[in-house]
Structure 1
Amino acid sequence: MNKAHFGCWALVLIVSAGSGEAEEELGTIAQLEVWRHQKLAQARSEDGAQLAAFTTDGCSGGMSAVWRTIAQSFPDFRDAQGEAPPWEQCCVVHDVAYHLGGEDVSPLASYFARLSADESLRQCVLDVAERDSAALQLRYGQPHDTIETAFEFIANRMFDAVRVGGAPCSGLPWRWGYGWPQCW
């Protein structure tokens, strides 16, 4: 049995052993993720475990990096669109939450803290569209409804991306709890 199969069976045993009423209400995917939060809690409690200094790449997945590269290479793009995505500060706030991996180290609390951080990212992007609507309408030459629809699409895809790629102890540099290098 390989490690992935062992991990799945271990989760089945934990869940079937009555790990809590709240976990029983979670779907299978959420239960698998809670198991990863358990790994993070264990890594955080090990002797010598230390939180690394905070770092951010703006919006992960290359979103900020690609935007900056295009802005540097094409001055007209930079002048029209700016040097960074208009929602980049939302990503930095999200990174602060992801760096620590939640205040409460219990796996279920950590799971819900991550879900809350991801939802906050989505809402922040939507709030940027609402807050900056007049400027964005001028910049893009589009009505409010179009700006709102575009930002809603972006916010939802960002939410989907962080839900899929941000689980703790995944080995990815943008994972939940990435400030704990002991949890790969």
Structure 2
Amino acid sequence: MLKQSFTLLLLFSLSSCALLSPNPIRQNEHLSESPVLVPFTTDYCSEWPDGKKENPDQWAGCCFTHDLHYWIGGTDDERENSDQKLKECVKMSGSSLSAFLMYIGVRFGGRPGDASYSWGYGWTKGRQYTPISKEEAEKARGLLLKSERNKNEKEKKLIDDFVKNSLDVKIQNEES
């Protein structure tokens, strides 16, 4: 019974990624020569609960940070690292099973593509696994700091951490 329940849950989580609509930002991508980074948006845990019934935002912060990484995109190794961090964060929040299922879902459903949850979804044109340049990291930094004004304190802290630990590191690494 447990094995059947697990199989059904896994199939549901994987299939829900396939049912989501394409990214509306990319509908007119043929009109632009090069990809443009649009302001950050998040749906938190994309077709997955943000927490358990007794704690509905239990791992929402984990998903928010994961969405920051997926918004900007980058290399395949960066995606794997982001997915591993999501799994660790959800596990630390108290749900090993959800951590495992979410990890499987993002590994299968989060590949570069047209969906609003795909790797690099913040770009108007698909970039696959293109590394982020210094200029792109600076642009992303500016967009995030500007959008921060409309966020709550928890989201502002998550954005600040992402800028400091990811974007600023990319900028500094290219300068040296």
Question: Given the two structures, how large is their TM-score scaled by the length of structure 2?
Answer: 0.50
| Structure number with larger C-alpha Rg | 1
Instruction: Name the one with the larger helix percent.
Output: 1
Question: Given the two structures, how large is their TM-score scaled by the length of structure 1?
Answer: 0.48
